[in-house]
Amino acid sequence: MGRTVRVKSFELAAKDINDVDVKLLHALSIGVGWPHRPKDWDFLRRAGHGIVAVDGIGRVFGSAMWFPHGREFATIGLVITSPRTQAQGTGRWLMEQVFERCGDRNLSLNSTDAAYHLYLSLGFKKEATVYQWQGEVVSPLPPVPALDGELSSLSTGNIEEIAAPDERAFGASRQRLLALLSEGASICILRRGGETVGYSMKREFGRGHVIGPIVASNDCDAIHLTAVHLKDLAGRFARVDTREQTGLFADFLQQSRLGMNDTVTTMSKGRQFLNRKENKPWVYGLAGHALS
């Protein structure tokens, strides 16, 4: 696929995302109604790689990022085309650029409704729905089930303690990403029988705070790992992205006055991404749509 594409009367070229003013990236996401702040874009540029589609005078008309986790897998996100170039082939061209740079890695992404048919045409397959729960947190929180184990905070210097359960839940090692996410985050871990069986993070993002990743083996553990952060956000805006539509965990989010705001579709290209096993670690809360 060529490194340039003609859209209407002007030509777009691929440029490294790190070589673009973050204000232009922020304007791009605002244009499609996404909540990313400039500092969110800066974080994502540290966490992964990306390209932007720019014209001859440096205007940004699109973006795409990928986040490798080892040599065999990567997630894709921040695939945005400005309203002026939507339905003009820019999104397909950006994805072809990403494919070229990711090589033969297995891939996963979370698709908006608008992009779903594009990704199908590019060989992605649907795996699950992600539900975006968000809103101002109620106080007091709804009742929680009995705790099986011990909750405690974790410092960023001990981030390796959550690497193993996270890899079992996610399906690939993302220790570098966890270290980056932990910067400025509040981290809670759940130990049972002396073993770390789950964890959660709370960090600033968009309109308020996102709670994620949340890794747990069952709904009750996930509730406790989420509640420990929600209680600190009473009356403030919080967001949890989860693939849980029903059950105790989804009920708890709703009772905490988080509303189901939107959905995206988890899709994969290559090997199947999701592999849930009963009573084994599972990603109850996503780190983010781009990071999964």
Q: What percent of the chain has pLDDT over 90?
A: 92
CATH topology for 4-104 is Aminopeptidase (3.40.630)
Mean pLDDT calculated for residue range 220-244:
97
Task: List, for residues 186-196, the tens digit of each pLDDT value.
Answer: 999 999 999 99
Mean pLDDT calculated for residue range 121-136:
98
**Beta-sheet pairing, 237-242 with 208-216:** parallel
Mean pLDDT calculated for residue range 115-138:
97
Structure tokens that stand for 81 in this block: 């085309």
CA angle 54-55-60, nearest 5°? 40
Q: What is the pLDDT of residue 6?
A: 67
In this model, does residue 5 exceed pLDDT 80? no
Beta bridge partners of 58: none
Q: How far apart are CA 41 and CA 29, in angstroms?
A: 10
pTM score: 0.95
Task: List, for residues 52-91, the tens digit of each pLDDT value.
Answer: 999 989 999 999 999 999 999 999 999 999 987 776 789 9
In this model, does residue 1 exceed pLDDT 50? no
Residues 6+ apart with CB under 8 A from 285: 200, 211, 212, 213, 214, 222, 226, 240, 241, 242
Q: How far apart are CA 77 and CA 118, in angstroms?
A: 14
Q: Which sequence spans correspond to the domains of the chain?
A: 4-104, 131-285
Angle between helices 163-170 and 175-182 (to 10 degrees): 120
Asked whether the domain spanning 131-285 has the same topology as the one spanning 4-104, the reply is: yes
Classify burial at 286, counting beta carbons within 10 Å of its beta carbon; exposed 0-12, middle 13-18, buried 19 or more.
Answer: buried
211 neighbors 224 (Cβ within 8 angstroms): no
Q: The CATH number of 131-285 is which of 3.40.630.90, 1.20.120.80, 1.10.10.10, 3.40.50.1360?
A: 3.40.630.90
Q: What is the pLDDT of residue 87?
A: 67
Q: What is the pLDDT of residue 85?
A: 74
